[in-house]
Structure 1
C-alpha cells in the first residue's frame, strides 16, 4: 500500500488514532451513502406515485363526471381541463398544467418562473402529447418529472400535464446530507481525540516497559515496573518484572561465581606456579613430591569448581525435578549411604511415612552433604542421627551429631559461602551453601537448631520443606 511507509514512521499511538479515524470515517461515509440512496429512491417513488395519482384522478373525472354547468358529459377538452384545475390543488413542488386546444397553457400551483418562461418545456409537452406517458427532463438547470395525458373531448384535443420539481424535492435531502456531513466530521474529530487519549492510557504500561528496558541496557537491573491493573498489559508487566528478577539473580550469581572462583582459585594457582618455578627436574624425589602436591591441588580446584557450578545451577528452574517420593524410603536410603562416609555410630532417629512431591536425588545429596559435614566434626565412636517427620505443615529431615557443635558467634553466617566451622576444616565452606540452595529450590529452608544451655553437645541441621495442599499426614516412628 502506498501509505504504509508513511504510517511506519508514526508512533503506535498515532497509528491507532489514524486507523480508528479512518475506520470511523469509512463507516460514516457508508452510512451516509446508504441513507442518500435509500432516501433518493423513496423520493422518486413518492414523485411517481403523486404523478400517477393526479393522472388517475383526471381520468376518473373524464369518465365518471359531467359538466357541472350543463349536467351533460363534457363537450370539449378545454372545459374538462378547466374543471379539473378548479377542483384540484397540487402537492408541494408540483404544478398542474392544462394545455388547451388553442391559446396559452394555464396552471395550478405555486408559480415557477424557470419552468413557465422556458421554451424547452412546451416542446417537451408537444413531443409527449400524442402518446402521453412520463419522462424526466432538465429545464433551466433543474430536474423535472413530467407526466402528460392527451385529452380528447368533442372536436377538441388538449393535454393534461403534471410537473414535479425533482430538484426542489431533493433540496431537503441535500440539506440533510450537508448537516450529516458536518456532524460526521465533528464525530470523527471527537472519536479521534478520544482514541488518542485512550491509546495513550493503554500504551502507558508499554512506555514504562520501554523506559525500564532502556535502563537495563544502561546497566540498571534494579528497575521494576509498577503494576496497577489486572488486564493483559498488566500481566505483561508482571511477566517482565519476573524476567528482570531472574536476570538480576542470574547476573548476581554470575558475578558471585566469578568473584568466588577468582578468590578461591588464586591460592592454589599460586601454589602450583610457585612449586613449578622451584622444581628441580634433575631431582627425582623433588619431581615426585611436586607431582603429588600438584595433583592434590588440582583435585581441590576440581572440587571447588564443581561446588561453584552446583551453586550456579541452583538458580536455574530445572535444578530440581519434582516427583512423588516416599519420605520413609528416602530417609532409610540416606542412612545406608551415609554409613560409608566414616566410622561413626549411625542411627535412624525417626521416619515420616508419607509421600510428597520433591527431587529425591537433590534431597539425598543435601542429607549426605550434612552427614559428611557431621563426620568431619566428630570422632570415631560419636553418634550421628538421621531422621524425618511431619511438623507444622512441613516435612522435616535432619542430621544431628554429638560433636563439639557450632560456635554461637559463627551460627548467623554458617550458611554463607566460604564460611568454615574452624580453621582446621579442609573444605571450602560451600557444603552448607549447597544444602541451602537445594532447600530453597524446594521453596523451603535449612536451619541450625539452637543450642540450649546444659544440653548435650553437637549440632542439628534441619531441612524444612513445605507440604502441598491436602497432603495427608503420615505415621511417624
Structure 2
C-alpha cells in the first residue's frame, strides 16, 4: 500500500514526481559512470607518464656524458644531465636524491610535498629496491616512483612524483558543473512532464467534471472528443454510455409520466364506483363488478403497452434472424382475419429473405390491422402486403375507412395521440409500431391518400438479403 503522503498526491503530481525521480537516477548513474571512467583514465595517464620518465632515464644511462663523451662518472652527474634535458608533465615533479647533499628537482615547487617528512622517508625506503607507491600528505594524494642509481660506489635515487589530487581537480570541477546542469535538467524535465501530464490528463479531468455534472442531475453534458488516442476512445465510450443512460432515464421518466397520467382516470373510475356501490343490491354489485373488471383489463393492457415502449430502447428488444418475408406476410393476413369481419386482401408479397425480428414485425402488422379494423365497418376492405422498393423493404396495411384527419397526421405516432372518434384504445398502438420499426433501423409513415389510410413500415436495405 502506498504511504498516505503519496496517496494524497494527484495523478499529475505522481507522474511528475516519478519522471523527476527516474531522470535523477539516470543522471546520477551517468555521473557516477563518468567519474569512474575518467578516474581510471587519469590513473592510466599518470602511470603511463611515470613509466615514460623512468624509461627515458634508463635510456640516458646507456649514453655517454655530453661534456666528456665518456660514460657518466657518477650518479649525481647522470641525474644532473637528465634534469637539465627533461621537463616534467603537468602536476609532475622530477627529483634527484644524491647520496650526499640536498635533493634537486625539476618542475613547479610543491611546498606540501617538499616540506613533508613522509616524502624523503619513502624515498629512503625505496632507494635500494625501487618501486612505485601512493603517498597521502594532508589529504593530498601523490604517486611516487623511485629508481635507484648506482654508478661506481655511489648510490643515488631518481624520483618521479605526480600530484594525483591536482590531476583530478578538474574532474571534480567537471562533476560540480555536471551536477548543476543535472539539477537544472531535472527541474526542466519535471516542468515539461507536469505540463505534458496536464495535457494528457485533461480528457480525464473533463470526464470527472462531466461525471460530477451527472451526479447533480444533468445528463445532457458531453465530453468534447479531441485526438485519436486511447483517452479519446475512452471519451467516446463515456459519451456513448451517457447517451444510453440519458435514453434509459428518459424512457423511465416517460414511463412514469405516462403511467401516472393514464392510470389516474381508470383508478378514479374504480374509486368512484366503489364509493357509491350498494352492497345490498345484487344487481348493482354485479354491474359494478363487470365494470371494474373491464377497467382492470384496460389498465393491464395499458401497463403492457407502456412496458413494451420502455423496452423498445433496449438492445435486446429485437432479435434479428433470416426471415422469409413472403411467409411472414401471409401469416399476418391469416392472423388478421380473426380480428374483425372485414374483406381482408393480400396486396402482394416480397419473395426475399430479410434479417429482422419476425415476431415484432408481425406484432406491428397486427397492431396496424387492429387499428384499421377499429376505424372501418363490416364489409370494408383491408389490405396487407410487402415489397422491395427503392432499396428498402416495405410492409403495409391499408383500409378503405374514413382515413386520418390531416390535422392529426403530424402527431399520430406520438404516445396517446387519438382522433375525435377514438374508441377504447389509449393511443399507444402506433407508438408501438413506430418503436418496432425504429428498433430495426427503419420507420413507419402514413401515406397521403384520397380515401382510407395506408400505414407503411420501411426497413433499410441492409435488412434484406
- The TM-score bracket by the shorter chain reads over 0.9
1:198 maps to 196
Q: Does 1:384 align with 2:386?
A: no
Once the two structures are overlaid, the 10-residue window that deviates more, 186-195 or 279-288, is 279-288
Q: CA deviation at 1:95?
A: 1.2
Q: Does 1:458 align with 2:456?
A: no
Q: CA deviation at 1:127?
A: 2.1
1:19 maps to 18
Q: Please give the alpha-carbon distance, in whole angstroms, between the structure 2 residues aligned to 1:355 and 1:104.
A: 119
Report Cα offsets for 1:132-191 as digits up to 9, x if no partner.
221211123311111112222211111111111111111111111111111111111111
Runs (4+) off by over 6 Å: none
Whether contact under 8 Å (1:356, 1:467) holds in the other structure is no
Q: Please give the alpha-carbon distance, in whole angstroms, between the structure 2 residues aligned to 1:21 and 1:341.
A: 79
Structure 1 gap ranges (5+):
473-477
Q: Does 1:364 align with 2:358?
A: no
Distance 1:146 1:434, change over 3 A: same
Q: Does 1:69 align with 2:67?
A: yes
Whether contact under 8 Å (1:445, 1:465) holds in the other structure is yes
Report Cα offsets for 1:421-441 as digits up to 9, x if no partner.
344421111010011111111
Whether contact under 8 Å (1:279, 1:287) holds in the other structure is yes
Q: CA deviation at 1:461?
A: 0.8
Whether contact under 8 Å (1:28, 1:184) holds in the other structure is yes
Give the secondary-structure state (helix, strand or coil) at the position aligned to 1:433: helix
1:323 maps to 321
1:59 maps to 58
Q: Does 1:49 align with 2:48?
A: yes
Q: Please give the alpha-carbon distance, in whole angstroms, between the structure 2 residues aligned to 1:321 and 1:137.
A: 93
Q: Please give the alpha-carbon distance, in whole angstroms, between the structure 2 residues aligned to 1:229 and 1:116.
A: 73
RMSD: 1.9
Report Cα offsets for 1:55-111 as digits up to 9, x if no partner.
22222333x322223333333222222222222222111111111111111111222
Q: Does 1:186 align with 2:172?
A: no
* Count of aligned positions: 465
Length-normalised TM-score, structure 1: 0.93
Whether contact under 8 Å (1:101, 1:156) holds in the other structure is yes
Once the two structures are superposed, the pairs formed by residues 219-298 of structure 1 within 5 Å of their partners are 219-298=217-296
1:311 maps to 309
Q: Please give the alpha-carbon distance, in whole angstroms, between the structure 2 residues aligned to 1:412 and 1:189.
A: 67
Q: CA deviation at 1:35?
A: 0.9
Report Cα offsets for 1:358-393 as digits up to 9, x if no partner.
222222211111111112112222222222222233
Give the secondary-structure state (helix, strand or coil) at the position aligned to 1:403: coil
Report Cα offsets for 1:387-439 as digits up to 9, x if no partner.
22222332211111111111111111100111123444211110100111111
Once the two structures are overlaid, the 10-residue window that deviates more, 281-290 or 81-90, is 281-290
Whether contact under 8 Å (1:118, 1:140) holds in the other structure is no
Q: CA deviation at 1:45?
A: 1.3
2:90 maps to 92
1:149 maps to 147
Give the secondary-structure state (helix, strand or coil) at the position aligned to 1:427: coil
2:408 maps to 410
Q: Please give the alpha-carbon distance, in whole angstroms, between the structure 1 residues aligned to 2:136 and 2:363.
A: 102
Once the two structures are overlaid, the 10-residue window that deviates more, 99-108 or 328-337, is 328-337
2:102 maps to 104
